[in-house]
């Protein structure tokens, strides 16, 4: 399920609080050894962008290292497993001493390596304080407290401030000579952790989730990324750490691409994406000048000139975008081999954007190119707009992509393949084959990315994939592990032949990346994008061949082996979970290795249902006045009413035996209400209700 938002008025940290806690902590910080591991599972190395995963320096561990360094911790090292796969906590000595704190960060697809690092740390004679973070920890924190897996001491479910608040508490109460893990255990036993938002930990035999974090609204309060970059472990195959971190002027030898914090949040409401909920439906940015100054310093100190802006809606704020293009052209690099040149003339900047924003403001594209913009990724998803509507169409896509190419900017579509989309169609719409051919030939896209619709942790559609029996649990004797949930593997489908859908995805890549297409592009008219076209053809063909080879066992089993699917949600937790966000107790009921979380306080459940029903009836009254004009809205209303009737029936028989059924009915009803609200928003329908928050 999606992360919950904090109440209005309590979403953000007070202005200046981030820098204040850094200042306070710098007075208490000591010589504690801290090692940050970024986990990496090499089995995920498939797809057309085969080299980006080792050339792009991940943002998360760098940001944590920067925050700790700015807060006064002087013994910090960042270990990237894609660079140093053999380093383990048990073999680590930092400045001659084993680490007292080990932070392990990673995505869901790299979770096996996260567990391996935790397991290794548990073998140490003096075990460090183990902190898990990253996307896996944010959305599935209880998985770090499963009985059959190595466990963390605490999980951080959010951003840098949470860790700083935890460290401030521990530093302030630490006794002389006390290991920091012992300090943590003592504070936990006394109940001293419950006030820190965004963490999960064991307390007296139960798991405690302290609720959703407060967000940093002004991203300019974050410390310089140079701090984290100066703490990277050099690339090697040894089991131990190097005597010193990688010098800044050598970072570009191993990491040619840097991701940058430009903004957080997204204006879209796609059911398969967790980003809007994580950001509590807010957009956070830093000023154009601050971003340009940051890029300038990075170029001067590291020599890196290729950047990716972590911006999900780069073109939404037109004023900010124009300011950024101006300042990138005006800002001069003052030292290094690019001294005297403008930032925009030196860098290659890429980011993500929405199609409608480009179509509405094509005039800014030449200026963007002068400012260093070289590539824009677009979530086209599907040209028919059947999976999700984001204003895309074949005509708009062609118009936007050709305008980008004319300005010297590389257009790069990202698509989602799904059950209802066939390989080819003859009804005037686009199958996957026609989509790839159109993007390749008519739109002249530089690259394509095709992923299969997959349960994304933290998204509102996640549960439905499982409850509808789509998600593969076992393929023959092979367990469907986390690393397969990368979008490149078909792991969730109602189709009778998952193998055929997997082959369609691979055929789409072969259709775009091929020797024939490479030769054709060699004879295209020279423009600012042609070189990238050719390089991406080479990279895409290598990626396709590598993917075919890596996925050969998967394809064989998918074709011939027996398939087993989930019919309920996987185990969330092996323990009772106390959720302080709602002041309710949630218990995990396990049966045949499946589980569903249930609320065991009857009155709390019934009160929440009644509150939801009141808001829903308010919507219904508003719909009645306009449903003749909007028939689909009326249909959605009837579906929701039917589901509410089923829910009421279960509520009337509310006993312990009905918990699982009750949860399912609640989820079905809530999903119907969400579909109504999304339809109202997407169609810009004006609805008059008695509930102002709707």
Average pLDDT on 638-665 reads: 71
pTM of the model: 0.83
Average pLDDT on 55-79 reads: 96
Query: Which has the higher per-residue pLDDT, 20 or 362?
Result: 20
pLDDT tens-digit profile of 253-279?
Answer: 999 999 998 888 887 778 889 998 999
User: Is 493's pLDDT higher than 70?
Assistant: yes
User: Is 691's pLDDT higher than 60?
Assistant: no
Place of tokens 């750490």: 241
pLDDT at position 660 is: 58
At residue 25 the predicted structure's pLDDT band, cuts being 50, 70 and 90, is very high
Angle value at C-alpha 362, between 361 and 365, nearest 5 degrees = 110
Provide CB contacts within 8 A for 578, sequence distance 6+. 203, 206, 207, 208, 209, 585, 586
Least confident range of 92-106, 233-247, 390-404: 390-404
User: Is 354's pLDDT higher than 60?
Assistant: yes
Structure tokens of 29? 């910080």
35 C-beta neighbours (distance < 10 Å), count: 27
pLDDT at position 166 is: 97
Average pLDDT on 598-625 reads: 68
Average pLDDT on 378-388 reads: 77
Place of tokens 């400012």: 371
pLDDT at position 269 is: 79
d(CA 541, CA 527): 22
User: Is 571's pLDDT higher than 80?
Assistant: no
Query: Which has the higher per-residue pLDDT, 9 or 105?
Result: 105
Average pLDDT on 547-576 reads: 90
Q: Find, among 247, 253, 336, the residue nearest to 295 by Cα.
A: 336
d(CA 319, CA 374): 20
Place of tokens 């004319």: 406
pLDDT at position 658 is: 57
DSSP sequence for 518-531: HHHHHTSPP-TTHH
At residue 524 the predicted structure's pLDDT band, cuts being 50, 70 and 90, is very high
Instruction: Report the percentage of the chain scoring pLDDT > 90.
Output: 65
Least confident range of 449-458, 535-544, 663-672: 663-672
DSSP sequence for 264-312: E--S---TT--HHHHTTT--EE--HHHHHHHHHHHHHHH---EEEE--T
Query: Which has the higher per-residue pLDDT, 611 or 66?
Result: 66
Angle value at C-alpha 120, between 155 and 182, nearest 5 degrees = 55
Instruction: Report the percentage of the chain scoring pLDDT > 70.
Output: 91
- Find which of 174-188, 382-396, 610-624 is predicted with most confidence, using mean pLDDT: 174-188
At residue 343 the predicted structure's pLDDT band, cuts being 50, 70 and 90, is very high
Residue 577 pairs with which residues in a beta bridge? 207, 586
pLDDT at position 603 is: 56
d(CA 402, CA 292): 28
Angle at which helices 160-173 and 59-70 cross, to 10°: 40
pLDDT at position 581 is: 60
User: Is 390's pLDDT higher than 60?
Assistant: yes
Q: How many secondary structure helices (H) and strands (E) does the chain include?
A: 24, 22
Angle value at C-alpha 616, between 611 and 617, nearest 5 degrees = 100
Query: Which has the higher per-residue pLDDT, 318 or 627?
Result: 318
User: Is 616's pLDDT higher than 50?
Assistant: yes
Average pLDDT on 31-52 reads: 92
User: Is 606's pLDDT higher than 80?
Assistant: no
Place of tokens 């609640």: 666
Least confident range of 405-419, 559-573, 628-642: 628-642
Average pLDDT on 223-243 reads: 97
At residue 139 the predicted structure's pLDDT band, cuts being 50, 70 and 90, is very high
Residues shown for the chain: 694
pLDDT tens-digit profile of 299-316?
Answer: 999 999 999 998 776 677
Q: Find, among 15, 83, 443, the residue nearest to 234 by Cα.
A: 83
pLDDT at position 591 is: 29
At residue 322 the predicted structure's pLDDT band, cuts being 50, 70 and 90, is very high
pLDDT at position 597 is: 37
pLDDT at position 601 is: 46
pLDDT at position 659 is: 55
d(CA 82, CA 38): 8
At residue 587 the predicted structure's pLDDT band, cuts being 50, 70 and 90, is very low
486 C-beta neighbours (distance < 10 Å), count: 20
Average pLDDT over the chain, rounded to an integer: 88
């Amino acid at each position: 399920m999606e992360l919950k938002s904090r109440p209005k008025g309590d979403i953000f940290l007070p202005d200046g609080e981030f820098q204040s806690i850094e200042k306070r902590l710098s007075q208490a910080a000591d010589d504690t050894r801290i090692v940050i591991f970024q986990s990496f599972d090499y089995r995920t190395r498939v797809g057309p962008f085969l080299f980006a995963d080792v050339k792009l320096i991940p943002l998360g561990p760098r940001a944590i290292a920067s925050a700790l360094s700015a807060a006064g911790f002087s013994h910090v090292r960042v270990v990237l497993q894609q660079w140093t796969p053999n380093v383990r906590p048990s073999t680590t000595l930092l400045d001659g001493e084993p680490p007292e704190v080990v932070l392990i960060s990673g995505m869901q697809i790299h979770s096996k390596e996260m567990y391996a690092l935790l397991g290794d740390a548990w073998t140490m004679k003096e075990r460090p304080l183990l902190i898990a973070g990253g996307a896996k920890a944010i959305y599935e924190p209880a998985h770090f407290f499963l009985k059959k897996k190595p466990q963390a001491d605490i999980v951080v479910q959010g951003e840098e401030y949470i860790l700083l608040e935890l460290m401030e508490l521990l530093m302030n109460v630490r006794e002389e000579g006390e290991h920091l893990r012992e300090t943590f255990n003592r504070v936990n036993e006394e109940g001293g952790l419950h006030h820190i938002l965004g963490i999960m930990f064991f307390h007296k035999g139960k798991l405690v989730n302290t609720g959703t974090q407060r967000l940093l609204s002004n991203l300019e309060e974050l410390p310089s990324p140079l701090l984290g970059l100066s703490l990277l472990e050099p690339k090697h195959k040894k089991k131990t750490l190097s005597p010193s971190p990688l010098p800044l002027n050598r970072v570009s030898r191993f990491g040619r691409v840097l991701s940058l914090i430009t903004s957080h949040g997204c204006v879209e409401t796609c059911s398969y994406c967790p980003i809007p909920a994580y950001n509590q439906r807010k957009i956070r940015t830093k000023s154009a000048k601050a971003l340009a100054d940051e890029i300038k310093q990075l170029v001067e100190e590291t020599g890196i000139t290729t950047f990716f802006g972590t911006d999900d809606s780069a073109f939404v704020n037109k004023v900010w975008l124009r300011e950024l293009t101006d300042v990138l052209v005006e800002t001069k690099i003052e030292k290094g081999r690019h001294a005297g040149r403008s930032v925009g003339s030196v860098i290659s900047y890429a980011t993500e954007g929405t199609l409608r924003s480009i179509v509405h403001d094509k005039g800014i594209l030449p200026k963007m190119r002068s400012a260093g913009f070289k590539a824009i990724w677009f979530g086209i998803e599907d040209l028919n707009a059947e999976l999700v509507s984001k204003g895309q169409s074949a005509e708009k896509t062609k118009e936007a992509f050709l305008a980008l190419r004319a300005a010297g900017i590389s257009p790069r579509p990202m698509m989602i393949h799904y059950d209802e989309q066939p390989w080819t169609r003859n009804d005037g719409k686009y199958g996957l084959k026609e989509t790839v051919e159109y993007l390749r030939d008519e739109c002249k896209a530089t690259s394509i990315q095709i992923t299969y619709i997959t349960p994304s942790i933290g998204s509102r559609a996640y549960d439905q994939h499982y409850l509808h029996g789509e998600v593969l649990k076992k393929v023959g004797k092979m367990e469907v592990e986390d690393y397969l949930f990368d979008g490149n593997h078909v792991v969730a489908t109602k189709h009778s032949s998952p193998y055929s859908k997997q082959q369609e995805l691979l055929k789409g890549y072969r259709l775009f990346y091929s020797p024939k297409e490479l030769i054709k592009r060699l004879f295209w008219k020279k423009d600012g994008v042609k070189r990238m076209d050719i390089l991406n053809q080479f990279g895409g063909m290598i990626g396709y061949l590598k993917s075919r080879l890596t996925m050969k066992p998967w394809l064989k089993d998918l074709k011939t082996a027996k398939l087993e699917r989930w019919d309920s949600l996987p185990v969330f937790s092996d323990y009772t979970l106390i959720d302080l966000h709602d002041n309710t107790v949630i218990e995990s009921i396990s049966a045949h290795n499946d589980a569903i979380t249930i609320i065991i306080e009857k009155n709390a459940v019934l009160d929440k249902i009644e509150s939801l029903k009141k808001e829903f009836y308010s919507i219904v009254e508003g719909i009645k006045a306009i449903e003749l004009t909007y028939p689909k809205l009326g249909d959605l209303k009837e579906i929701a009413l039917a589901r509410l009737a089923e829910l009421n029936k279960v509520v009337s028989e509310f006993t312990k035996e009905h918990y699982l059924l009750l949860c399912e009915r609640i989820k079905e009803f809530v999903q119907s209400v969400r579909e109504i609200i999304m339809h109202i928003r997407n169609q810009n329908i004006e609805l008059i209700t008695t509930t102002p928050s709707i």
